[in-house]
Structure 1
Amino acid sequence: MNELRAYDINIVGLDSKRYEYDFTSDDAFFAALDQPLIEKGHVRTHLVLDKSETMIRLDFHITGTVEQTCDRSLDCYDEEVDTQQTMLLKFGDHNEELSDEIELIERSTATVNVARYIFEFISLSLPMKRLHPRFRDEDDQDDESNGKLIYQSDPGTEAGSDEQQQDIDPRWAALRKLNDN
């Protein structure tokens, strides 16, 4: 937990104006959070804190790399992180998370620890499918060629006999009319 104290911002003595902070997070940061998603990495966070009478606006710009494990090969690789996110902390009578971007904090709150926000924003910027860069070109080509699969019978058999048209169940014919629209 001592590692995370570096991310405390004392908001009690701050005037209503704009402040800027810079944080560097490395392997010790991710280990202190005790989570399995990211174990190693090196990211820099530039935080702009804009305090007013009713709220605090936190603008994060996070850049760097985090180590990920490829879902396909289980090889480790560095994933680039570059994200900009905003968090609003509104002063209220109790602590409550109103939405993903807005939280209520008590007026008597002395410090705000931004470590949790930094980690959440890094996690949100990572792709769901963790692929080593050497597999990404292959995956992109597969997605383009298999974008949509359409089955179509041979055009010669479709224009064939009237007998085939009469054998079609009327329920399927009604569905086919919807498909033709």
Structure 2
Amino acid sequence: MKDLKDFNIPFIGLKQGSHLFEYQISKKFFEAYNFDEFNDCDVQVTIDLAKKSTFLELDFNVKGSVNVPCDVTNELFDQEVKGDLHLIVKFGHEFNDDNDDVLIIPHEEYQINVSQYIYELIILSVPNKRVHPKVLDGTMESEALKRLEELRIKENNTAEEQDSTDPRWDKLKDLLTDK
């Protein structure tokens, strides 16, 4: 994880107040995590670190796009991603990240690595179902969509099919009227 050293924020020398950190995330960042679902990535991350006397507040903001295959047609497209995360960093006797919103780090720490939070925020900002915008507006032309249209179940709403019933059930209806 040598590539992720750039995401260490040394907070020990910072004055109290707000500090802004910016990162440009590319596919190389995800290769460090062995994550290969994105073909390409162009995401801008800004972190506003507010240093207080006894704790730190980190506000993450991600905005950009990732190149992914469509779940319907398997065509590649750029999926827009954006997300926010608010994290409070407190100091304690030992490291504890059980709570999603509060991170406790040892008193002797002098820096925090934010790469894991950036990774999770981008991954969770991508929708579960990724659909190409041209599929949504109906302008996509692909072999997969043509084949899906051919295999779609056709609905027959003729009146005689709705009125006719299975003759085996007609005998059961007689039981209801014989009371």
Give TM-score scaled by structure 1 length: 0.70
| Cα separation, 2, equivalents of 1:38 and 1:97 | 27
Shift of 1:57: 0.8
**Paired AA for residue 47 in structure 2:** L
Provide the aligned length of Structure 1 versus Structure 2.
142
Partner of 1:6: 6
* Structure 1: gaps of 5 or more residues: 139-153, 155-163, 168-181
Does the CA-based 8 Å contact 1:45-1:62 persist in structure 2? yes
- 1:94-133 matched pairs, under 5 angstroms: 94-133=94-133
- 1:8-157 matched pairs, under 5 angstroms: 8-137=8-137
Task: Return closer, same or farther for 1:24/1:135 CA change in 2, 3 Å cut-off.
Answer: same
* Structure 2: gaps of 5 or more residues: 139-161, 163-172
**Paired AA for residue 4 in structure 1:** L
Instruction: Give percent identity, aligned residues only.
Output: 29
2:9 partner SS: strand
Task: Return closer, same or farther for 1:111/1:37 CA change in 2, 3 Å cut-off.
Answer: farther
Task: Return closer, same or farther for 1:56/1:37 CA change in 2, 3 Å cut-off.
Answer: farther
Task: Return closer, same or farther for 1:101/1:137 CA change in 2, 3 Å cut-off.
Answer: farther
**Paired AA for residue 34 in structure 1:** N
2:82 partner SS: strand
| Cα separation, 2, equivalents of 1:12 and 1:83 | 28
Task: Return closer, same or farther for 1:128/1:55 CA change in 2, 3 Å cut-off.
Answer: same
Does the CA-based 8 Å contact 2:16-2:52 persist in structure 1? yes
Shift of 1:36: 3.4
Does the CA-based 8 Å contact 2:67-2:77 persist in structure 1? yes
C-alpha distance after superposition, 1:90-141 (max 9, x if no partner): 1111111132222111111122111111111111111111111122246xxx
**Paired AA for residue 133 in structure 2:** P
Task: Return closer, same or farther for 1:39/1:88 CA change in 2, 3 Å cut-off.
Answer: farther
Shift of 1:39: 4.6
1:64 partner SS: strand
**Paired AA for residue 12 in structure 1:** I
